Structure 1
Amino acid sequence: MSEKPSRSLAGIAGIVAVATLLSKLVALVRQQAIAAAFGVGVVANAYSYAYVVPSFFWVLLGGVNGPIHSAIVSVLSKRSKQESAQLVETTTTLVSGLLILITVILVVFADFFISLLGPQLSSQTQAIATVQLQIMAPMALLAGLVGIGFGTLNTANQYWLLSISPVLSSITIIIGLGILAFQLGDDIVLPRYALLGGQVLAWGTLAGAILQWLAQLITQWRLGLGTLRLRFDFRFPGVREVINIMAPATFSSGMMQINLYTDLFFASGIAGAAAAFSYAGLLVQTPLGIISNVILLPLLPMLSQLAAPEDWVNLKLRIRQGLLVTAVTMLPLGALFVALAVPIVRVVYERGAFEQEGSQLVASVLIAYGIGMFVYLARDVLVRVFYALGDGTTPFRVSLLNIMLNAGLDYILVKPFGAPGITLATVGVNFASTIMFLFILNRRLNGLPLRDWSIPILGLTASSFVAGTASWATLWATQRLLGSEGLIVQLLQLTVSGLVGLGVFAAIALQMKLPEVDLVISRLRQRFVR
């Protein structure tokens, strides 16, 4: 579609990596501000429950690599610029009509949805969460508009704005909290200001979503890729194709979000659990989101171009590359999160209202997240293969099965393990999804070299275990020597232990002679060794 010359995979990955890194770092500062102001208390817990509903739509419809983004990319990449503008306007009209209705429902029935999510929440937490949800309800509509914008800009090679625009949401929250802290000072933690603090979080989140949409819209207009014009020609070529991919993919991703609802239902009786999921999740999503965007953003258009049977040989090579790069990056990072969870949480969050007790809770959840980092991203890679093949139904069916699996695992694991058990249930669901997707693709593509793929992945898993052990041993030794108190000491221990772990992994992985290992390390050398 784009008239600009296509960029290389390396060039795209570089743009995405830098922009996403900036976005994730600002998001981390945002989360630090929330932690310092509210810790794992009532306001943070209420926000975790209130945000899960607009987040459902934001992830489902508005996220990079979400169903709308994937459907738009798959269809627009095959069409001219003029056709694309009309298709974007028609899709926007259709999606907006549905989401305006949903926004009204969220405002009217906010208290019901919060009660459904957290039946064991305190009355204060529920009241704050209800108000927050009513404020953030328009994000349902904005999610659809942003998702369409992401897909449109992706096909126009506008990768920088795709990855950097989420910064706007974080900045508005940080500014809001800064003003609140300036006005209230240390009184910000007092119960009588809890509702005010919750409202500031909600308004800041909504303002950021509006700014993100406006930034995309201006770029779309400048490129001639659609305006806010209402277009009701739902028979326009390509609209049906978008719907055929988007509808089942949306339901599929929605099923995954239902798993999150199930998790929160079981977590509502555990004090601070929802906030802990949010804090630990961001720590994981920071590197995972960067690598996810680097892998998936340029990979999806390439997969779509290899969907024909005569191109399946190259398609299988791209699938292998996606899975192996995922393993090379996610497995060692996951091992480091497991080994260094406590010092990571203490360095990032432990200040202000966030105390050592909160660090222990968040660290326990972070360990569980670290165990599942590889299968989380591997599942996403395989889902995009189905989207590229024009099949959104298979991920939907697998997700339906996983709802029951997730509920069962939550019920089993929450009693012995508490909050980390709920995260481990999610890891189990992602692992099961990955296996099912590989089995189905093996049949669909007339066989995959699964044994050839599994051997290096198992080798990288073993390497990561050794690296994690080395990192933990280094941390233990430095704590015996220097103690574990003081930010400078903690930073030093974390840095040394992390570098030891990564060095051990790199030393072992290099001996495996995998092209994906060489690819990742060469990229790192290009960026950090001049």
Structure 2
Amino acid sequence: MTESKPTRSLAGIAGIVAIATLISKLFGLVRQQAIAAAFGVGPAYGAYNFAYVIPSFLLILLGGINGPFHSAIVSVLAKRKQAEVAPIMEGITTLVGGILLLVTIGLVVFANPLMHLVAPGLYITADQATAQGIDAATFETLQQTRAIAVQQFRIMAPMAMLAGLIGIGFGALNAADQYWLPSISPLFSSVTMLVGLGGLALYLGDKIALPQYAALGGAVLAWSTLAGAVLQWLVQLPAQWKSGLGGLRLRFNFREPAVQEVIKIMGPATFSSGMMQINVWTDLFFASFIPNAAAAVSAMGYAGLLVLTPLGIISNAILVPLLPAFAKLAAPENWAELKVRIRQGLLTTAVTMLPVSALMMALAFPLSRVVYERYAFTVADSALTASVLVVYALGMFFYLARDVLVRVFYALEDGDTPFRISVVNIFLNALLDFFLVKPLGAPGLILATVAVNVVSMIAMLWMLNRRLGGLPLREWAVPLAGLTIASIASGFAAWGTLQASEHFLGREGPWLLLLQLCLSGLVGLGIFGLIAIQLRIPEVKQVSDRLRQRFLKQP
């Protein structure tokens, strides 16, 4: 906004966002550890993964930082005067809140058929189970998982409306140069979950993982999740009011040009981003047909959290400051500088994500054991989670690079192109899921999503190359190839170090596992750093300088 306080540098914004997101993600990791210890891969958490598909879809899609609501609000408000902001915000909030209230009612009423749509494999009959060779105990677990999932879904339905309000508010706060609260806010959801699980543990004690208490555990998961969303919305209101970003007043100015501009970006962007979440639903749709569906989706959830922890920290640090910069360079006369920013976003993504991907692939099994293996979570659960984690890690760079390019289209006020690409990718993802789920199980479903993100990234680069009068793609490919080679070397170095340490020291005991994990990771990072520095890539120097300033206090 033109009358806000002086704009911070990209590095300053990235630092604020990275620290806040790190704190939030660490709490999220502790929350997931608590869930794993309480429920393992049993029906309570398995059902939660199915029930959370639509609420999570809406929370990430509408309420997430870098989501379409957030991006649309930032793109429009960043160009507006302070005095114009409150009416725009109130009009958008009125419109979106009204629509999402109706959506919430629909979710409650149609909970059972919607769950049937999300996870049809949970609705098989006894005759179908017998025909598929599913034993009686597994079939009973499927029925229990279905009943818990429907209950959880109804409890979490109000997150539909809360998600929209959260996304709009956080977009306005970012446009007003406020980054701390939006980045730290997911912490509140983790806190409510930990409080809920703590109360359940005090109430049930060692009986918490028993099958007869799965429904109670599932209800606690759902109510805690809803409470976290309510808290995320409430904490942003005082900051919005203090910054003059509008209040809770109903305003029906839907035909105002500024409101129409937000809707013009928000609509296609929502559908485009929603396509990615539909791919998540597609994966779970096919996962429901895996005989032990609760274990499969639980492993996908645990592995996904391990990937999303570094991915969320790095993505917010990269995308949040770049989006306003892209928006200010959208005019044709600024395209030369816009191309520089695109390169900066892609190569910073490569510098940060490629080595992390390589290390997570090399160290997936000990990482799963160190993070999750306690109480109800067993060695077999760690092995299943690690198999999924390897494939998740493979796609980290492509996921974030795609998001960088999507933000360029948003800045150019073009939400249609990402939407069209995403529509095609829905069908591609479903086709790959169909062919990969039977031979590979849960890892095959994640591999399909990775392939879709690769195709999406390539298509967007090709279209931006045409739109912006040519991108120096060959010039960008050279440092990307160098960073890829450095990352592969770091992964092999970490794996070799792990094998050597296991040979001499063994592989049992949490502290020994943690020591081996840290040692192997440090060796891998060291190898990557030695090679990457020799490449003389500006983005490598920028990242290393930033790390030195942050952790070593060097100028």
Bin for the TM-score computed over the shorter chain: over 0.9
Report the Cα offset of residue 100 of structure 1.
0.5
Partner of 1:376: 399
- 2:523 maps to 1:500: yes
Return the alpha-carbon distance in structure 2 between the equivalents of residues 315 and 383 of structure 1: 14
Q: Secondary structure at the match of 1:485?
A: coil
Instruction: State the shift of 1:119 in Å.
Output: 1.3
Asked if 1:184 is matched to 2:204, the reply is: yes
- The residue number in structure 2 matching 1:299 is 322
- 1:126 is aligned to 2:146: yes
The within-5 A match list for 1:338-417 is 338-417=361-440
Question: Within the alignment, does 1:309 sit opposite 2:335 as a pair?
Answer: no
Deviation at 1:256, TM superposition (A): 1.3
Q: Does 1:84 align with 2:85?
A: yes
Distance 2:83 2:225 in 1: 34
**Which structure 2 residues correspond to residues 457-468 of structure 1 after superposition, within 5 A?**
457-468=480-491
Mapped to 2, the partners of 1:62 and 1:473 lie a distance apart of: 42
Whether 1:196 aligns to 2:216 is yes
Query: Which residue of structure 2 aligns with residue 56 of structure 1?
Result: 57
Structure 2's unaligned 5+ residue stretches are 123-141
1:254-269 equivalent positions in 2, closer than 5 A: 254-269=274-289
Identity %, equivalent residues: 65
> Which of 191, 194, 207 in structure 2 is aligned with 1:171?
191
Instruction: Report the CA distance between 1:435 and its aligned residue.
Output: 0.1
Is 1:337 paired with 2:360? yes
Q: Is 1:245 aligned to residue 246 of structure 2?
A: no
Amino acid at match of 2:120: P
Q: In the alignment, is the contact (CA less than 8 A) between 2:31 and 2:190 conserved in 1? A: yes
TM-score normalised by L of structure 2: 0.95
CA distance in 1, matches of 2:285, 2:507: 36
SS in 1 for 2:248: coil
Give 1:3 shift: 2.0
Partner residue in 1 for 2:345: 322
SS in structure 2 at match of 1:232: coil
Q: Secondary structure at the match of 1:120?
A: helix
1:482 & 1:113 partners in 2: Cα distance? 51
- The alignment status of 1:429 with 2:424, answered yes or no, reads no
1:419 and 1:192 mapped to 2: Cα distance?
27
Count of residue correspondences: 530
Distance in 2 separating the partners of 1:222 and 1:134: 35
What is the alpha-carbon distance in structure 2 between the residues aligned to residue 523 and residue 53 of structure 1? 38
Give SS of 1:233's match.
Answer: coil
Query: Can you list the C-alpha shifts for 1:346-401, whole angstroms capped at 9, x where unaligned?
Result: 00000010101110110000000111110000000000000000000000000000
Q: Secondary structure at the match of 1:363?
A: helix
Paired residue secondary structure (2:351): helix
Q: Does 1:32 align with 2:33?
A: yes
Following superposition, the deviation at residue 269 of structure 1 comes to 2.5
Aligned counterpart, 1:19: 20
CA distance in 2, matches of 1:496, 1:343: 12
Aligned partner letter, 1:312: W
1:444 aligns with 2:467: yes
Mean alpha-carbon deviation: is it higher for 117-126 or for 143-152? 117-126
Q: Give the aligned partner of residue 135 of structure 1.
A: 155
Shift of 1:193: 1.0
CA distance in 1, matches of 2:57, 2:106: 15
For residues 118-173 of structure 1, give each alpha carbon's deviation from its aligned partner in whole angstroms, at most 9, with x where no partner exists. 11221111110101010000000000000001100001111000110110001001
Distance of 2:470 and 2:15 partners within structure 1 = 33
- Which amino acid letter does the alignment assign opposite residue 361 of structure 2? V
Is the 2:4–2:177 contact (alpha carbons within 8 Å) kept by the matching residues of 1? no
How much does 1:237 deviate? 2.7
Task: Give, in whole Å, the separation in 1 of the partners of 2:375 and 2:103.
Answer: 38
Q: Which residue of 2 aligns with 1:230?
A: 250
In the TM superposition, structure 1's runs of 4+ consecutive aligned residues that sit over 4 Å from their partners are none
Separation in 2, partners of 1:94, 1:485: 57
Partner of 2:126: none
Distance (Å, rounded) in 2 between the aligned partners of 1:139 and 1:265: 21
Letter in 1 for 2:527: V
Q: Distance in 1 between matches of 2:121 and 2:52?
A: 17
Paired amino acid for 1:348: V
Distance in structure 2 (CA, Å) of the matches to 1:453 and 1:104: 49
Structure 1 CA distance for aligned equivalents of residues 404 and 551 of structure 2:
27
CA–CA separation in structure 1 for the residues paired with 2:296 and 2:463: 36
2:220 is equivalent to residue 220 of structure 1: no
- What is the Cα deviation at residue 436 of structure 1? 0.1
2:296 to 257, 260, 273: 273
The separation in 1 between residues aligned to 2:149 and 2:357, in whole angstroms, is 32
Deviation at 1:81, TM superposition (A): 1.3
Query: Which residue is equivalent to 1:150?
Result: 170
Q: Which residue of 2 aligns with 1:480?
A: 503
Matches of 2:289 and 2:210, distance apart in 1: 23
Amino acid of the residue matched to residue 57 of structure 2?
F
Q: Aligned partners of 2:240 and 2:460: how far apart in 1?
A: 35
Q: Displacement of 1:277 after TM fit?
A: 1.1
Secondary structure of 1:226's aligned partner = coil
In 2, Cα distance between equivalents of 1:345 and 1:269: 25
Is 1:9 aligned to 2:10, yes or no? yes
Cα distance in structure 2, aligned partners of 1:54 and 1:123: 22
Q: Deviations over 1:330-358 (max 9, x none)?
A: 00000001000000000000001010111
- Equivalent residue of 1:169, what SS? helix
| Stretch moving more, 294-303 or 188-197 | 188-197
Return the offset for 1:201. Answer: 0.5
The residue matched to 1:406 in structure 2 has which SS?
A: helix
How many Å apart are 1:527 and its aligned residue?
A: 1.6
Question: TM-score, structure 1 length as denominator?
Answer: 0.99
Mapped to 2, the partners of 1:330 and 1:55 lie a distance apart of 24
**Distance in 2 of aligned mates of 1:385 and 1:379:** 10
Three-state SS of the structure 1 residue aligned to 2:546 is helix
How far apart are 1:419 and its partner, in Å?
Answer: 0.7
- Report SS of the residue matched to 2:121: coil
